[in-house]
Amino acid sequence: MFPSIRSVALAGFAASLLPQALAQTSTSCNPLNATCPADAALGTNATFLFNETSANSKLWNTTAGTIDYNSTGGQFTISEKGVSPTLISNFFIFFGRVDVVLKAASGQGIVSSIVLESDDLDEVDFEWIGGNNTSWQSNYFGKGNTTSYDRAVWHDVDDPQGTFHNYSVDWTKEKIDWYVDNELIRTLNYEDANGGDNFPQTPMNIRLGIWAGGDPDSNSYWTVQWSGGEVDYDDCPFTMSVREVFVQDYSSGKEYKWGDHTGSYDSIEIVNGTSEAYEELYVPSGTKAKWDSLPTWAKAAIGVGSVAVVAVAAGAFILFFLKKRREGRAAYQLQEQNMAKEQEELLEYKSNYQQIKGNSTEIHR
C-alpha cells in the first residue's frame, strides 16, 4: 500500500483537528430545523461490480482516504493512523434494497461498516468489529435519536473476515429486514421503533467505510470499548473488501424534496423525472447530447421504463440499457482544489458518526 500525498495530508489533518470537530456541532443541513436542498434520487436500480470497475465518481464520492480496486473488489485499507477510507453515494433511495457482498477487516478496534444515512440522521447499519470473527451488528437510528437501548443487535455469521457474504437490507415504510446470504436475520417493524418516530423513513444514501473505533485519540472511551479495544497500528494494514453493491430504489423520480420539518415520510415529495444517476448509468455517453435534447416527456417515459415508445420516437437509441463501461478513472482522483471541501465533509461525517457511535455505545455497557 502506497499512501498518496492526499491521504497522508488527510491523516494529519484528521488526527489534529477531529477533537475540535467533535466539539462543534455538525454543519450539515438538517431538514428537521432548516430548509435543505432536495436529495438526488437513484430512481432505478444499479449493480456496481467493484471487482471489475472502480466506483463511478459521478455516482460515488470517496470522502476520505483512498480505495484500491482489484479483481477481488474495492479495498478499503487502513494503512496507518488517521486513515479511514469512506465511499458515499451521491444518490439517495426512498425505501429500497441494498445488497453488499463484503469481507470485513480484521484487527482489534477496527470497524467495517455499511451505513444508510439520511439528511436528518435516520440510519440503518451493518457493522463488524475486527477483533470478532464470528459476528456482526445490526443497528438503526431515527432522526438522530440515540437514547434508545434496544436498537443494536449482534448476530452470528460464519467467518466474516475470511469469506465474502451477501449482506442485504430491504427497507419499506412498514419494516426493515436485514438478510445475510438470503437468510432473514432481523426485522424491525415501523411501530416497534418508538411508535414509528424512530423508524428510518427519509431518503438515505449509502456509505461504505472502515474506521478505527479503537483509536482513543479520536474516539470516546465507550467507542473504544464498543470497538473491542485499542487499535495496534503495528498490525496494519487492515482491509475491508467490497466486491459488489446492488441498490434498488423503490421510488422512481428525479429527486426527493423535504416538504416540512417533521422528518416523516409523508413530508417527502418525489419530484418526477429522470434522475441524473439514471442518465449516468443507462444513457450511453455518445448519445448524451441527443438525450439532452429530448423533450421532458420522453425522458420521463424512459425513466418509467417505456423504452420502446421513445426508441421509436428518437430513433437512435439502439444501445439503451447497455451499461456504460467506465473509463476506469478512480473516484479518489480528486482535484487539489476540492481538498478543503472534502476535509470539511470528512469532519462532518466523522463528527456525526462519532457523536452517534459515542452515544450508542452506552448500549453495550
Ligand X SMILES: *[C@@H]1O[C@H](CO)[C@@H](O)[C@H](O)[C@H]1NC(C)=O
- Taking CB under 6 A as the rule, does residue 99 contact ligand X? yes
Contact in structure between 272 and 297 (CB atoms under 8 Å) = no
Question: Which of 20, 52, 189, 297 contacts ligand X by CB under 6 A?
Answer: 52
- Taking CB under 6 A as the rule, does residue 133 contact ligand X? yes
- Taking CB under 6 A as the rule, does residue 262 contact ligand X? no
Question: Which of 15, 49, 236, 363 contacts ligand X by CB under 6 A?
Answer: 49
Indicate the length of the chain as a whole number: 365
- Taking CB under 6 A as the rule, does residue 179 contact ligand X? yes
Smallest distance from the beta carbon of 352 to ligand X, in angstroms?
8
- Taking CB under 6 A as the rule, does residue 61 contact ligand X? yes
Q: Pairing between strand 135-141 and 123-129?
A: antiparallel
Residue type, 31: P
| Residue of 245, 209, 243 whose CA lies nearest to 99 | 245
123 is catalytic: yes
Of the candidates 117, 127, 280, 345, the residue annotated as catalytic is 127
Question: Which of 7, 44, 139, 354 contacts ligand X by CB under 6 A?
Answer: 44
Residue type, 76: F
Mask 276-315, x = binds ligand X (CB under 6 A)? -----------------------------x----------
Which residue lies nearer to ligand X by CB, 219 or 352?
352
Residue type, 173: K
Angle at which helices 339-360 and 5-23 cross, to 10°: 50
Q: Kindly provide the residue ranges of all beta strands, DSSP E only, lying in the chain, ordered along the sequence.
A: 39-40, 45-49, 60-64, 67-70, 73-78, 86-89, 96-103, 110-118, 123-129, 135-141, 153-156, 165-171, 175-180, 183-189, 204-212, 238-249, 255-258, 268-271
Q: How many residues bind ligand X (CB under 6 A)?
A: 46
Report the alpha-carbon distance of residue 149 to residue 123 in Å, rounded: 15
Which residue lies nearer to ligand X by CB, 217 or 266?
266
Report the alpha-carbon distance of residue 250 to residue 235 in Å, rounded: 42
127 is catalytic: yes
Residues near ligand X (CB under 6 A) are: 25-26, 30, 33, 44-45, 49, 51-52, 61, 63, 70-72, 75, 88, 90, 99, 101, 106, 132-135, 145, 147-148, 154, 159, 161-162, 166, 168, 179, 182, 194, 197-198, 239, 243-244, 248, 272, 305, 338, 345
Provide the annotated active-site residues: 123, 127
